[in-house]
Amino acid sequence: MKRTINLLALAATFALFAAPALAQTPACDDAFKTATYKKWYDNRKDHQDIAFQAAEEYIKVCPDDAGPYAGAIKKFYDAYKAANNANETKKQFDDAVVKKNYPEQMRLGKLIIAAEPDNSAAYIIMGVAGLSDPNLLNDSSQYAKKAIELIEGGKPFAPFTTKDQALAYLNNEVAKSMLKSAPADAIPYFLKAARYESDLKKSPQLYADLAGAYGEGPIAKQSEEYKQKYTTESPESKLAVDNLNQLIDRQIDALARAAALSTNPANKKALMDLLTGLYTDRNKNTTGLDALLAGVLAKPVPDYPTPLTLPTPAATPEAAPGATPATTTPAATPTTTPAAKPTTTPAKPPATPAKPSPSPSPTPPTHKA
């Protein structure tokens, strides 16, 4: 018991000695300012952690100081703290990339680009996040567009290994974001994605999506316009059919590429069923379909078709001054009969193709944004 009392007394003694030490706060006097400023100044380049400690102490002890030392110290303090915060954000961003946490990639990426508007790596990673998380598709596409702009302007394309690979995936992301809301606008982006030298060139999903964009976009629109506008055959109705057939031929090409590339038996059958039906509607038989499938991948992806137009009528030459105009005998007016309906009707747009298993989304390596 006596030993316990002695230990308590000893502890109380130490506490008495420690209390004044804890309570001591440096005075904001000239000696403190000069010493602390010197500590900051001597370390501000090579030992910035020590310089930051000195700056932090200076601001704590002299928060209202407006003297000659305070401005430089406060400026350094703010810059160092902001840089540390930015580095921590980038570390968390890199962790989110490694863990494939796509919502966190979007949240942290926005913080990074707010401070670094030209950080192409952050834009790229946010720009392809929607390919892996459909809930982020629309938001992600806005950053994909900016990433495309930065890369085409010469900014780095990391974490992708090649510029073409980055641009292919980013254009595919933008296209997919438009597939339901604006399929016609998605087509140019799908075409770009298919033309870059990347693994997407061998993705059946890309071409199935392209076929769907043709079907749900311009083919559906022009088919409906045809039905509403034409009931009898005329040069204009024939032209409308020809323009529709151009689009259907592009859809057939895209479906053929998807079918030729597909390795999943169920997906391949679904694609072949769609392709065979559309090809037969367009050509009245399946002659040439096997040859199309065998050779389609060796050909470049065709451009969006240029609309056909009717030829402009030649102008009637005017008579020379003083010339006697030739007399013409009016032809007998024939009995008019309704024109026959067009013998060629546009093929009905097929349903959106059954989609093959999604092609793998890019898994960029951890990258310092």
pLDDT tens by residue, 25-51: 788 888 888 888 888 889 888 888 888
Residues 228-237 have pLDDT tens digits of: 999 999 999 9
Per-residue pLDDT averaged across 310-322, rounded?
Answer: 63
What is the per-residue DSSP string for 71-83? HHHHHHHHHHHHH
CA gap 80, 55 in Å, rounded:
10
Could you identify the residue written with the tokens 């007016």? 333
Give the 3-state secondary structure of residue 272.
helix
Please report, rounded to a whole number, the percentage of residues in the chain having pLDDT higher than 90.
Answer: 60
Q: How confident is the model at residue 314 (pLDDT cuts 50, 70, 90)?
A: low
> What is the C-alpha separation between 367 and 91, in angstroms, rounded?
9
| pLDDT computed for residue 104 by the predictor | 97
pLDDT of res. 75:
86
Nearest to 213 by CA among 187, 233, 241, 245: 187
Name which of 47, 51, 132, 125 is nearest 92 in CA terms.
125
User: Pseudo-torsion of CA 353, 305, 197, 181, nearest 10°?
Assistant: -50
Average pLDDT of 134-142? 96
Locate the domains of the chain by residue range. Answer: 203-308+345-359
Over residues 285-301, mean pLDDT: 97
Task: Please state the rounded mean pLDDT for residues 350-357.
Answer: 40
Mean pLDDT across the chain: 83
pLDDT digit string, tens, across residues 145-201 = 999 999 999 999 999 999 999 999 999 999 999 999 999 999 999 999 999 999 999
3-state secondary structure the chain: CHHHHHHHHHHHHHHHHHHHHHHCCCCCCHHHHHHHHHHHHHHCCCCHHHHHHHHHHHHHHCCCCCCHHHHHHHHHHHHHHHHHHHHHHHHHHHHHHHCCCHHHHHHHHHHHHHHCCCCHHHHHHHHHHHHHCHHHHHHHHHHHHHHHHHHHCCCCCCCCCCHHHHHHHHHHHHHHHHCCCCHHHHHHHHHHHHHCCCHHHHCHHHHHHHHHHHHHHHHHHHHHHHHHHCCCCCHHHHHHHHHHHHHHHHHHHHHHHHHHHCCCHHHHHHHHHHHHHHHHHHHCCCCCHHHHHHHHHHCCCCCCCCCCCCCCCCCCCCCCCCCCCCCCCCCCCCCCCCCCCCCCCCCCCCCCCCCCCCCCCCCCCCCCC
pLDDT band at 327 (very low <50, low <70, confident <90, very high): very low
pTM of the model: 0.71
What's the pLDDT score for residue 55? 84
Whose CA is closest to 301, among 182, 173, 213? 213
Q: Specify the 3-state DSSP secondary structure of 280.
A: helix
**Sorting pLDDT into bands at 50, 70 and 90, what band is 369?**
low
Is the pLDDT at 276 greater than 90? The verdict is yes
134 pLDDT higher than 50: yes
Q: If you average pLDDT over residues 206-225, what whole number do you get?
A: 97
pLDDT band at residue 263, thresholds of 50, 70 and 90? very high
* Mean pLDDT, residues 110-139 taken together: 95
pLDDT at 226 over 90: yes
Using 50, 70 and 90 to split pLDDT, how confident is the model at 328? very low
